[in-house]
Structure 1
Amino acid sequence: MILTVTLNPAVDKTYTTDSLILGQVNRIATAQNIAGGKGVNVAKILRQCEYPAMTCGLLGGYTGLFIEDYMKSIGADCRFTKVAGETRSNINVLAGDGYVTELLEPGPEVSDEELELFVKVYEEAIKECELVVLSGSVARGIRTDIYKRLIKIGNENKKICILDTSGEALRFGIESCPYMIKPNQKELEYLVGHKLTDIEDIADAARELCEEGIAKVVVSMGGKGLLSVSKEGVLWAKAPSVKALNTVGCGDSVVASYAMSILEGEDDFSSLKRAAATAASSAATFQSGEIALGLSKELLAKVQIEKKD
């Protein structure tokens, strides 16, 4: 069982239009409401791949019920904690000219009491799982060191922890030494405090984090591919180009892929190759938190892996 944690889930309202023009009326061609949030997306992909997934986090209001009902419908074991505020909605506008615009609501204010109720649920849920994925932003009212606390609980229970967040939540979270983190280039730059100009710079920055006790650092670099850094070395993967329909959730597909690879005991080479193919197939789908399984298998044979010094 894999447990996913989402502290600020959302209903993703995905719109398509020919183009988005600021300051003018924009006609929407299609609209779709999708259960989202990074940890929710990871659980959705796990269920697509027929992996048992348990998901917990904070939900409130009608949008919260929408997310929970959907997750139950796909067979996820839901252990959400209810909050008084309304779970946020995010707007993703996919324009025909190739631009993707995201409008992200801040989410509800979470009280100390609500957070402690969640932590109790988390402490019980983690006992039933082998691996924990902690993903996404932190709702208002929650201290930015929350992931540090949750990873510490995971480590005390001898669980594998994967962290995928940003900013101060990431900076504090790595203090508890999760097994793996998945920053993008900007998030890695935030951690090390300076600009990273090329793959060699990115690899060096990731090595620094490995030396501090993180077993695996996987850096997503958009069209430049994925970089995996561990004590085994540095690997760079680039999947064949695909027609991208929606890049929202591609990072979540990388995390889901690695969670499965870790539990299956795959080596760094196989894990990275699988993750690159999964991310590319995710970009080729309209819905966030979904992969094209057939395309993923097709791309797997075409992913190029290069060992870096």
Structure 2
Amino acid sequence: MKKMNKRVLAICPNPSIDVFATVPQINLGKANRIQKLKEYPGGKGVHVALALAELSVPVSLMASWAGNAGAWIKRNCESVGIPTLGIDLKGNNRKCYTFLSQDTASNDTELLEPGPEMSENDLDNFIAVYKSIISEYDLVTLSGSWPIGAPRYSNKELILIAKSLNKKVIIDCSGHNLTQALEAKVFGIHLNADEAISLCHSNDPDKVFEHLQDKVDLIAFTKGKDGLYLSYRGRQVHAKVDIGDVKSAVGSGDCLTAGISLGIIHDFPLEEIAKWSVACGAANCLREELGMLHGADVKSLLNHVEVNSICYEK
């Protein structure tokens, strides 16, 4: 793939430190000793930025940074060549713990810290920074939740600003953040099965496409092992790849969003966008690192992705 000058702005309103904690089992009401601890830069937009940087796509990361945790996330992203932008908040960025246990009942138990709070004035500052830099980028990804207290219109405001400058935005979020984005007629959307049921009252791809076709240009609908259903420019395809043993699926959806972004800025045909998207999502599963992929894994998977055209009844 030839190098290009197009740039992506990955926005992560609420970054985190993702922690894998290994314990034999979790005994409620008693002391539990952690055997092994691993920490990774986290938050959906952080994962998107890390994946794009690994694939040599020029990307910057914009976020709300808070305390020592925020400084640690920034250092780790900057160490791989990702410029970091945004605003500072009081407090500390959150830590998200995933407990790995031999006990099936408690394995993959998660504990999520609340993180910092964001006022309307903080959002105004965030938007001011965004307005000052967005003209430098060709595509924006907007992923995940906002800090506690952020106004409900946050996503909609950023999308409308981008649209006024003819910039495409791809979102991956849920709840009111998602509905607000659709009201702004966002360019692209990435949904999982739970989000599809909440938004479209179905996880059937045909019904999802039918529900969203007049609201958004690009629809990426993922159903875990069933793969990716992708609709763009009046066509739909299904893509999947078999990878065998899954080390960790945390962040795979974000890596898939990175693959979509790569395909869009390169103006790839639909089948090629689907291949890169699925290869990126699957590559994340091959390693223990959370929300990270290796470019060599992506390239080795590309030729194994199966892509088939589909159609649905309108």
**Would you call these one fold, judging by a TM-score over 0.5?**
yes
Unaligned runs of 5+ in 1: none
Which residue pairs with 1:108 in the alignment? 116
Letter in structure 2 aligned against 1:303: V
Paired residue for 1:87, among 78, 89, 93? 93
Which residue pairs with 2:135 in the alignment? 127
Question: 53-62 vs 284-293, which deviates more?
Answer: 284-293
The answer to whether the 8 Å contact 2:191/2:220 transfers is yes
Q: Following the alignment from structure 1 to structure 2, what is the Cα–Cα distance between the partners of residues 267 and 232?
A: 12
User: Shift of residue 294 of structure 1?
Assistant: 2.2
Letter in structure 2 aligned against 1:6: C
Q: Following the alignment from structure 2 to structure 1, what is the Cα–Cα distance between the partners of residues 99 and 269?
A: 37
The answer to whether the 8 Å contact 2:44/2:251 transfers is yes
Which residue pairs with 1:139 in the alignment? 147
Q: Following the alignment from structure 1 to structure 2, what is the Cα–Cα distance between the partners of residues 237 and 19?
A: 37
Q: Following the alignment from structure 1 to structure 2, what is the Cα–Cα distance between the partners of residues 285 and 35?
A: 15
Which residue pairs with 2:4 in the alignment? none
Q: Following the alignment from structure 1 to structure 2, what is the Cα–Cα distance between the partners of residues 208 and 114?
A: 35
Q: Following the alignment from structure 2 to structure 1, what is the Cα–Cα distance between the partners of residues 268 and 27?
A: 46
Which residue pairs with 2:258 in the alignment? 256
Q: Following the alignment from structure 1 to structure 2, what is the Cα–Cα distance between the partners of residues 84 and 296?
A: 38
The TM-score with structure 1 as length reference comes to 0.92
Letter in structure 2 aligned against 1:274: W
Letter in structure 2 aligned against 1:241: I
Cα deviation 1:64-98 (Å, max 9, x = unaligned) = 11111112111111112001121111112234578
Question: Identity across aligned pairs (percent)?
Answer: 29
Unaligned runs of 5+ in 2: 1-6
Q: Residues 100, 267 of structure 1: CA spacing in aligned structure 2 closer, same or farther, 3 A cutoff?
A: farther
User: Shift of residue 139 of structure 1?
Assistant: 1.0
User: Shift of residue 55 of structure 1?
Assistant: 1.1
Which residue pairs with 1:209 in the alignment? 212
The answer to whether the 8 Å contact 1:164/1:181 transfers is yes
User: Shift of residue 18 of structure 1?
Assistant: 5.1
Aligned residue pair count: 303
Q: Is 1:49 the equivalent of 2:55?
A: yes
Letter in structure 2 aligned against 1:206: F
For the aligned residue pairs, the C-alpha RMSD in angstroms reads 1.8
The answer to whether the 8 Å contact 2:10/2:48 transfers is yes
Q: Is 1:166 the equivalent of 2:174?
A: yes
Secondary structure of 2:95's aligned partner: strand
Letter in structure 2 aligned against 1:140: I
Instruction: Please list, as runs of the form range in 1=range in 2, the aligned pairs for 1:171-186 lying within 5 A after superposition.
Output: 171-186=179-194
Secondary structure of 1:79's aligned partner: strand
Q: Is 1:10 the equivalent of 2:16?
A: yes
The answer to whether the 8 Å contact 2:54/2:294 transfers is no
Which residue pairs with 2:291 in the alignment? 289
Cα deviation 1:139-178 (Å, max 9, x = unaligned) = 1111222111110001011111001101111011111111
Q: Is 1:33 the equivalent of 2:36?
A: no
Cα deviation 1:98-135 (Å, max 9, x = unaligned) = 85333222321112221111110011121111000000
Which residue pairs with 1:148 in the alignment? 156
Paired residue for 2:69, among 63, 69, 75? 63
Q: Is 1:299 the equivalent of 2:301?
A: yes
